[in-house]
Structure 1
Amino acid sequence: MNEFPYPEVQPFERLQVSDGLMINSQRWQLAHEYHQHRQNVLYQSLFLPGIICGLGVAPIEAPQDLPAQFRDGRWVQIQPGLAIDLQGNFIVVPTPINFRIATIAYNRAIEMVYLVLSYVDPTKLRQTNSNEILVETFRINEKTDLPLSTDIEICRLAIAEGKLEIQKPVDVFAPKACQLDMRYRLAAQIRPQNSIRIACLQSQLGQPSPIQQRFHFLGRAMSSIAPSLSIIEPIANLDIHAELTIKHLSPYTLIYLTNDQAIEINDSTELALREYIAKGGLILIEASIRQTKLENLLEIQQELENAHHNLLKNTQSNTQQADRALIQAELQSELEAIKIETNNTIQDLLNTFSSHIPMETPMQPFSDLEPDHPLRSQPFLFSHLSAIANSPIQILTNGSVIILLGELSQVWSGQSDLFLPRESIRNCQELGINILNYAAQRYSIHQSMQVNAQYQSNTALPDESDQRRITNMVDKLVVDKLA
């Protein structure tokens, strides 16, 4: 999802009406602008910009009343429809609009053309008549640059050199040159409660990172199963060898890296990570344990736990109770022994990169978290962690750092070589969403307790708002009354 800012925090100003007030055009306009401003803030706060309905684009024959030089295959018709833009303005296209694509490609290069719609305030247009009614209108543009945040993209088109014949695509999900591409149209929707910005630490920035694609697929799953969350794309890459500062890290809700990358972190980045988590950021470290001693230990531990659970669940006759108690005691003893060995092996793994990651607070396993902990319960409920294709996973956290033992992210894209069923893929996606939801909540709470430097001042501003003055007056009256 793209990032769409909230409206500016400004007080509403409206006309104070009293008997005998003389209404002139300026006061009437002030009353009108108040309602318009309030409506725009409402829609900008609660909704994301995009197409509400209609606004389809179809190739058509050129109008016959035009000169021959304009009667070519470059014509499209934009259908009536509704949209809402970034400022909360409604855009209404009441009738079909015929439009000619004028861009030409040169030097055998493919030129991308964007057909966009934007709101036009009629009061800012030069008026040629004295009509009392102003119709809110719009503008249709074709661009070769990426659309602006205030634009509503209704279509894009790849143009090749030579004669252009705009066509409908044979496969709408894989349009070719000169075919209408409607895949990137955004639909107006309710604004998610939390938008998550992710950065991945990488050793080689020039090469594509598979983790970015995995987060992309997880974000697509979130749009349907957890619409209150969204991932802001693109996923950023940060150079792990650079001396990163808090200025580089602070824009991100979550920083992702592997255990091998954690070893490469330099002193400057380590200091920045400490300040980053203090400000509410979350570090996610994924460590592959495939074909390692730890994987074998976790498998044995899981088998013993399942056997212990099944033994407690099965009912036996009185003559077999003694044997069951003996088996239960043996299982419990073996389970405690394997847990000790597993914990020691995990601690050995953590020690390899703990000197580079702020992990002074002890790590707590997923199973020891409270049942209502966000990682276990929001938005999806987990009583325990399931194995992935018989390969166990483990999660450890101290609140600011999450250690993921296993290859959970590999499953998010559905392109894992494990050939997992759909249910297993969905479980892994839901666990990943719980991690992102925890990161988003933690970041939001920490940010809510920060002093915004933009408004920080030692003295009162000369243009204090009426609300501030009223608050001060009430406080003074309360103090005088108590005195």
Structure 2
Amino acid sequence: MTTFFPPPPILPFDRFRPSDGLLINAQRWRKAHDYHRQRQNFHYQSLHQPGVVCGLGVTLISPESNEPEQYRDGRGIKLQPGIAIDLKGNPIIVPQAENVQIAVEPPTEEPLTVYLVVSYRDPDELMIREDSEIVREQFRIDVKTKPPSELEVEVCRIWLPPNQPIQLKATDDVFFPGYFNPDFRFRQWATLRPLGTVKIAQIEHDDPQHNVNFPNLDFLVGSSDILYPKLQGIEPVGLINWKGEEQQNEESQGKVRWRASDLEEYDLLYLTGSQLNFSPQQVKALKGYIEHGGVVFVDSLGDNSPITNYVRDLAQRELGTPLKPIARRHPLRRMPFLFGAFPTGGFGQPVNLFCGGGVILATGNIAAVWGLDQQMTISREVLRSAQELGVNILHYAWHRRIMTKLHQASTF
């Protein structure tokens, strides 16, 4: 899962200014030292993301080992030496192997996820003797049942089934760990911060085919930072329910089901199906969303689908963004991947793109080839080309949101 890590806060630095004859005491020395630490952390958080640098593996402690008895009950693990860096750029250095016990109660109803995390501890905040001239920066190891906080770095997670005693096991397949196996697939690695992040959601509506491509949105988001590392898709893909009575919103007489502000969390909203029929409140919400930089991407199942004509008319009459074919120099055709002819979509249909401001209409069901089909017959060339076009769509949504916000009052 890809996690969004925020940039540093927009706050100025206060620097200590020495002068001739100034008496240097511990407080002033610490203030001068803290300034450089803050600058270093600010630099790291601006250009990098937190995570594991190296090491921090996990081995199981067997009952026959020479470790203390408390770790030989099937719950003990040994955290190997390694290095991580937290969100603020603080180094988390585990210099030697540490014994850890998975001291949680077995679940009784639902499976439970247990997280092994490490975090940085500032020695100035710990109970250390004042007469110590040298202090060592510390770390902390925690076993918890909630996802890591923003200042914690995940080492691994372990899935526990209900109504079974906890007995940890070595995994047979590191790519497909099971219950009681340490799972490293979700750990974050320290890396460069991407140029941008993009978050998408699918709008659910009354058409039976509205979610036919939902699994493929995950494929696209998961591939985006591999195909184009400067742009990172944020998982999981969201869902906005506009089905049936769920269409009631805060301006309606019925029970509140959704709010226009719910849309603002996402850079791109995805819709597909055979037909659409938005309420006036929904049209108003979409219009406000587009005015604030959002992008609505409608993936029509074909040129003759009723959804195609509905969206064209909606964009022209209600949203004020008439749709036009993608021109030669349009960002959707050029950034970051260059396209002459667009790839084929579902069932080999030709794909055409039309755009007007914050509305993109694709004919040909392009999302059908963003992921694997049931028979796995789609060629790699088709998948790769379709995903690259998908990355262009994500890039357009991110870029439009950023450029629109630059014309508006800052929300920082």
TM-score, normalised with respect to structure 2: 0.88
- CA separation in 2, counterparts of 1:120 and 1:150? 10
Distance 1:95 1:375, change over 3 A: same
Kindly provide the amino acid, as one letter, of the partner of residue 186 in structure 1: Q
> Which whole-Å deviations, capped at 9, do the CAs of 1:237-269 have from their partners, x for residues lacking one?
1122243554122221111112546x2311111
**SS of equivalent to 1:233:** coil
Q: Do 2:221 and 2:235's aligned partners in 1 also have CA atoms closer than 8 Å? A: no
Q: What is the match of residue 287 of structure 2?
A: 274
Name the counterpart of 1:130. 131
3-state DSSP class of the match of 1:286?
strand
Larger Cα-atom Rg: 1
**Counterpart Cα distance in 2 of 1:65 and 1:254:** 53
Give yes or no for the alignment of 1:172 onto 2:135: no
TM-score normalised per structure 1: 0.76
Distance 1:77 1:351, change over 3 A: same
Partner amino acid, structure 2, of 1:254: L
Q: Secondary structure at the match of 2:234?
A: strand
TM-fit CA distance, 1:197: 1.3
Aligned equivalents of 1:208 and 1:74: distance in 2?
A: 45
SS of the residue corresponding to residue 221 of structure 1 reads helix
Q: Which has the higher helix share?
A: 1
Deviations 1:131-169 (A, max 9, x none): 111111110010122222221111111234454332210
Match of 1:379 in 2: 336
Distance 1:453 1:173 in 2: 41
Q: Please give the secondary structure, in 1, of the residue aligned with 2:236.
A: strand
The structure-2 alpha-carbon separation of the partners of 1:125 and 1:370, relative to structure 1 and needing over 3 Å to count, comes to same
- Take 1:23 and 1:386, find their aligned partners in 2: how far apart are those partners? 69
Deviation at 1:354, TM superposition (A): 4.5
Q: Which residue number in structure 2 is paired with residue 250 of structure 1?
A: 264
Q: Which amino acid counterpart does residue 233 of structure 1 have in structure 2? A: E
Conserved? CA contact 1:168–1:180, under 8 Å: yes
Q: Is residue 359–residue 398 contact of structure 1 (8 Å, CA) maintained in 2?
A: no
> Deviations 1:207-238 (Å, cap 9, x if unpaired)?
99454421221122222210111111221111
1:285 equivalent to 2:298? Answer yes
Is residue 422 from structure 1 mapped to residue 373 from structure 2 by the alignment?
no
What's the secondary structure of 1:132's corresponding residue?
coil
Pair 1:359–1:129, CA change in 2 (3 A): closer
2:237 match: secondary structure: strand
Q: CA RMSD in A?
A: 2.5
Is 1:58 the equivalent of 2:18? no
Contact 1:245–1:269 (CA under 8 A) maintained in structure 2: no
Q: Structure 2: 5+ residue runs without aligned partners?
A: 250-257
Q: Which residue of 2 aligns with 1:151?
A: 152
CA distance in 2, matches of 1:431, 1:124: 50
Question: Does 1:396 pair with 2:398?
Answer: no
Displacement of 1:45 in angstroms is 1.3
1:31 aligns with 2:32: yes
Q: For residues 200-219 of structure 1, what are the structure 2 equivalents within 5 Å?
A: 200-203=202-205, 209=211, 211-219=213-221
Query: Would the aligned equivalents of 2:117 and 2:156 in 1 still touch at CA under 8 Å?
Result: yes
Pair 6,71 (structure 1): closer, same or farther in 2 beyond 3 Å:
same
CA contact (8 A) 1:86 1:150 kept: yes
Describe how 1:326-475 pairs up with structure 2 within 5 A: 350-354=308-312, 356-357=314-315, 358-366=318-326, 369-371=327-329, 373-388=330-345, 390-415=348-373, 419-452=377-410
SS in 2 for 1:158: strand
Find the counterpart in structure 2 of residue 468 from structure 1. none
State the alpha-carbon separation in 2 of the partners of residues 273 and 408 from structure 1.
22
Once residues 342 and 323 of structure 2 are traced to their aligned partners in structure 1, the CA distance between those partners, rounded to angstroms, is 17
Q: Alpha carbons of 1:221 and 1:53: their partners in 2 closer, same or farther (altered >3 Å)?
A: same
How many angstroms does 1:279 deviate by? 1.4
SS at match of 1:154: strand
Match of 2:224 in 1: 222
Aligned residue number for residue 102 of structure 2: 101
Distance (Å, rounded) in 2 between the aligned partners of 1:193 and 1:122? 34
Deviations, residues 371-397 of structure 1 (Å, cap 9, x unaligned)? 3x2111111111122334642111111
Deviation at 1:447, TM superposition (A): 0.8
**Structure 1 unaligned blocks of 5 or more:** 295-344, 455-483
CA distance in 2, matches of 1:183, 1:424: 28
